[in-house]
Amino acid sequence: MANIQQVAEKAGVSVATVSRVLNHAASVSTKTRLKVENAIKELNYEPSMLGRNLRNSESRLLLVLLPSISNPFYTEIINGIQNTAIANSYNILLCETDSNPQRENIYFNMIKNKLADGVISMDPTVNMQKLTELAESHPVILCSEYDEGGSIPYVTIDSELAAYQAVKHLIRLGNKKIALINSDEKFLYARQRRSGYERALKEFNLPIREEWIYHTRDLEFQNGVQAMRMLLELEERPTAVFAVSDTLAIGALKGINGNGLHVPNDLAIIGFDNISFSNMTNPTLTTVSQPMYKMGMTAANMLIMSIKGEQVESVVLDHDLIIRESTMG
Amino acid sequence: MANIQQVAEKAGVSVATVSRVLNHAASVSTKTRLKVENAIKELNYEPSMLGRNLRNSESRLLLVLLPSISNPFYTEIINGIQNTAIANSYNILLCETDSNPQRENIYFNMIKNKLADGVISMDPTVNMQKLTELAESHPVILCSEYDEGGSIPYVTIDSELAAYQAVKHLIRLGNKKIALINSDEKFLYARQRRSGYERALKEFNLPIREEWIYHTRDLEFQNGVQAMRMLLELEERPTAVFAVSDTLAIGALKGINGNGLHVPNDLAIIGFDNISFSNMTNPTLTTVSQPMYKMGMTAANMLIMSIKGEQVESVVLDHDLIIRESTMG
DNA sequence: AATCATTTTGTAATCGATTACAAATTGCTG
DNA sequence: CAGCAATTTGTAATCGATTACAAAATGATT
């Protein structure tokens, strides 16, 4: 592969002039520009990013931290990030942490090493202290999960309000016994969604019963199945379930079907996230839709601004309750 | 962020010595090594990948081309690639082409630009001619979809055999009217799977009826729903369906359920890929399992060998028929 | 202490680009 | 055509590392 030197020789100009042509600098005469462009074509020259990036001390790479690539919740967000990044001549590096601190460290080092220009973290298990430390000297944006009262800019939705509205929807349908399948409350969103759940119940003078609140270890399908099995074994069964993620809700659906019961006739279900599969289940799943693509776009734009040195403000985006068959009793 | 120069000054040695310590070169005395290590700690120094990579003219980045990140088929493969890459101090850059030639070009240029050391392509719509051209001067591996008779090494499974076995399974269950939901036969795997389907039918003297072979435009859920609707409208309905992807099969499932029919009692269904959701549907889906994680690992290993300049041979891995509820009539 | 082999360290070139500054060229005016 | 401004081009430093080669330090031997 040719380098800028060889192009310069072939065109009979200096490397500076070639560089100017490459970067569309104004001060190149048409005649020399053509000479250089021809040389570039003849040699099949492509500028090396390595040299360019070293000189400009930027990599034009954005890191995207997420716990697991197989979680469909992230796919649309990633699309939003990716499109925005490409539109600004950035590329993204998807980094699966598996909630593993060692992996996390590798990626933090990539930032320090100048191999990436900034990070968007969507990992709720991220070491927030280390991330905050990193954020002091490098651009960092949080997406979806965030640090309440922290200093890192974030983009998210109002989880408490969304949960409140979802549960209110179940109450309006006549349900008085509403279960919550929550994840571990070490996560902020889990605490917020529980809080919304409780607010709705209180508003309608419905009791908050601990046995109707189930905490799962992970957000996997199987955790939802398991949660539902437990709930169905209770003396007093709930008539509706609010799950804090679609994957859990789909698991719950499976648990109910496996028990010979019918959704929504015997139990209504609401999920959260509006992942693509929530529309493919039988019955289709009522869910809270996060504006995932937009969240991705927003996060990427914020990060790019931040890289440019501009100040950015956190953003809370709107959500939607998508009513489908699983609550059409 | 400190650079190697500052570390050298602080430690009272030359940059060469610092570099030697960084790269664990043998010829550094314990005394100076300690001095340097202390300076590194004090300055919180991290070597810049940019400088290192320029000098070594490598980026230690692997490109992974895929049509869409939201296709769950790829997630396990990616995990395999990623783990193997990290184990060899590489990182991966996930590139969604959206089957868009312009996007594709961006990524091909990244290779030429030395921003990545090699590519694994999983994109069946890739411009094979351009890719073959690229492969002449850069390491390229194909994963899953490949170029029959082409020069690029690949890792894949025997699609024809897998399809043959799947259809044979349906025949053994007593089905004589078996439909095929295929994707566009411009894809090699589609032609191979159809061929396996036909071989099984012929072997049991069952007729191959064109109206039972449906070609979908894409591999989306909705295409499966649509395909099933068409098949159910036929005068002579099939009693079993073999779909060339799980997402299509899950769509078909939905189409059948929406018609008041029951799987597997009225129709049996087999999918392909064993994506995680195939185990979450109701009924669970019989499917052909590709060793996705292993495919990813293998592809990554082949690519890394190829980057090192070693010769690599194409690999065909084993598959499995996973029998679940959708064929337990 | 002189000699020589071995180990350790330093000097300076190098990777491939960008860019400040200087130098050369061009064009205009009187 | 001299003189000057504006435009165009070139020279050389720079980004941050690695490494061939040279030089210095160390240690062993006589």
Positions in chain D where some atom is under 7 Å from a protein CB? 7-12, 14-20
Nearest to A273 by CA among A299, A238, A247: A247
Question: pLDDT band at residue A216, thresholds of 50, 70 and 90?
Answer: very high
Chain B interface disruption, residue of A43, A108, A282, most B CBs within 10 A:
A282
Chain A interface disruption, residue of B115, B130, B261, B262, most A CBs within 10 A:
B115
Residues 96-135 of A with CB under 7 A from strand D: none
pLDDT at B248: 96
Number of neighbouring beta carbons within 10 Å of residue A87: 12
- Per-residue pLDDT tens digits for B63-99: 999 988 778 889 899 999 999 998 998 988 888 887 8
Alpha carbon of B136: minimum distance to chain A alpha carbons (Å): 12
- Tell me what the pLDDT averaged over chain B comes to: 93
A69 contacts on B by Cβ (under 8 Å): 69, 75, 78-79, 82
pLDDT at A160: 98
CB A235 within 8 A of CB A203: no
Nearest CA in chain B to A1: B112
Nearest CA in chain B to A103: B86
Give the closest of A50, A94, A95 to B59, CB-based. Answer: A50
Give the closest of B57, B70, B91 to A50, CB-based. Answer: B57
Specify the pTM: 0.86
B109/A221 touch (CB, cutoff 8 Å), yes or no? no
- C-alpha span between A276 and B140 (Å, rounded): 32
- C-alpha span between A76 and A297 (Å, rounded): 10
- According to DSSP, the residues that pair with B180 across neighbouring strands are B213, B242
**Is A263 in a helix, a strand, or coil?**
coil
Give the closest of A50, A93, A277 to B93, CB-based. Answer: A93
pLDDT at B73: 87
Question: pLDDT band at residue A93, thresholds of 50, 70 and 90?
Answer: confident
Chain B interface disruption, residue of A115, A250, A263, A285, most B CBs within 10 A:
A115
pLDDT at A97: 83
Question: pLDDT band at residue A112, thresholds of 50, 70 and 90?
Answer: confident
pLDDT at A81: 95
pLDDT at B94: 84
**Distance between the alpha carbon (CA) of A35 and the C1' atom of C24, Å:** 19
pLDDT at A285: 97
Give the closest of B51, B112, B279 to A54, CB-based. Answer: B51
Alpha carbon of A203: minimum distance to chain B alpha carbons (Å): 35
State the SS3 of chain B. CCCHHHHHHHHCCCHHHHHHHHCCCCCCCHHHHHHHHHHHHHHCCCCCHHHHHHHHCCCCEEEEEECCCCCCHHHHHHHHHHHHHHHCCCEEEEEECCCCHHHHHHHHHHHHCCCCCEEEECCCCCCHHHHHHHHHHCCEEEECCCCCCCCCCEEEECHHHHHHHHHHHHHHCCCCCEEEEECCCCCHHHHHHHHHHHHHHHHCCCCCCHHHEEECCCCCHHHHHHHHHHHHCCCCCCCEEEECCHHHHHHHHHHHHCCCCCCCCCCEEEEEECCHHHHCCCCCCEEEECCHHHHHHHHHHHHHHHHCCCCCCCEEECCEEECCHHHCC
Residues 236-275 of B with CB under 7 A from strand D: none
In this structure, are strands A118-121 and A140-143 parallel, antiparallel, or unpaired?
A: parallel
Positions in chain C where some atom is under 7 Å from a protein CB? 7-12, 14-20
pLDDT at B180: 98
Phi, psi of A132 (to 5 degrees): -65, -40
Average pLDDT for B130-148: 93
CB B274 within 8 A of CB B72: no
Give the closest of A50, A79, A251 to B54, CB-based. Answer: A50
pLDDT at B208: 95
Average pLDDT for A125-142: 93
Average pLDDT for B56-64: 90
Nearest CA in chain A to B72: A70
Average pLDDT for B124-144: 93
Question: pLDDT band at residue B110, thresholds of 50, 70 and 90?
Answer: confident
Alpha carbon of B41: minimum distance to chain A alpha carbons (Å): 14
CB B114 within 8 A of CB B55: no
Two structure tokens written together for A24: 């569309």
- Per-residue pLDDT tens digits for B188-247: 999 999 999 999 999 999 999 999 999 999 999 999 999 999 999 999 999 999 999 999
Is the CB of A261 less than 7 A from some atom of nucleic acid strand D? no
What residue has token string 């869910």?
A: A287
B257/A49 touch (CB, cutoff 8 Å), yes or no? no
Question: pLDDT band at residue A103, thresholds of 50, 70 and 90?
Answer: confident
- Per-residue pLDDT tens digits for A15-34: 999 999 999 887 889 999 99
Alpha carbon of B171: minimum distance to chain A alpha carbons (Å): 27
pLDDT at B158: 97
Sequence-separated (6 or more) residues with CB below 8 Å from residue A70: B72, B75, B76, B79, B276
Two structure tokens written together for A78: 């990633």
Return the minimum-mean-pLDDT range out of A78-82, A102-106, B168-172: A102-106
Nearest to A263 by CA among A292, A238, A288: A238
Nearest CA in chain B to A75: B70
- Per-residue pLDDT tens digits for A280-325: 898 999 999 999 999 999 999 999 999 998 999 999 999 999 999 9
Is the CB of A24 less than 7 A from some atom of nucleic acid strand D? no
Residue A1 pLDDT greater than 80, yes or no: no
Is the CB of A20 less than 7 A from some atom of nucleic acid strand D? yes
DSSP A197: H
How far is residue A273 from each of residues A208, A218, A219, A327, B328, measured CA to CA in Å? 24, 16, 12, 16, 33
pLDDT at A105: 83
Provide the residue type at B144 as one letter.
Answer: S
- Tell me what the pLDDT averaged over chain A comes to: 93
Provide the residue type at A12 as one letter.
Answer: G
pLDDT at A209: 96
Alpha carbon of A211: minimum distance to chain B alpha carbons (Å): 26
State the nearest residue by CA to the C1' of C25: A29
pLDDT above 90 covers a percentage of chain A that reads 77
Interchain CB contacts (distance < 8 Å): A and B: 115
pLDDT at B113: 83
Alpha carbon of A28: minimum distance to chain B alpha carbons (Å): 24
A75 contacts on B by Cβ (under 8 Å): 69-70
B257/A282 touch (CB, cutoff 8 Å), yes or no? yes
Alpha carbon of B94: minimum distance to chain A alpha carbons (Å): 6
- Per-residue pLDDT tens digits for B267-293: 999 999 999 889 989 899 999 999 999
CB A96 within 8 A of CB A66: yes
B103/A96 touch (CB, cutoff 8 Å), yes or no? no
Nearest CA in chain A to B279: A221
**Is A262 in a helix, a strand, or coil?**
coil
- C-alpha span between B54 and B56 (Å, rounded): 6
- Per-residue pLDDT tens digits for A44-81: 998 998 999 999 989 898 999 998 877 888 989 999 99
B77 contacts on A by Cβ (under 8 Å): none
Question: pLDDT band at residue A99, thresholds of 50, 70 and 90?
Answer: confident
How far is residue A88 from each of residues A82, A304, A314, B107, B303, measured CA to CA in Å? 10, 8, 21, 15, 30
A50/B50 touch (CB, cutoff 8 Å), yes or no? yes
B46 contacts on A by Cβ (under 8 Å): 109, 112-113
A109/B46 touch (CB, cutoff 8 Å), yes or no? yes
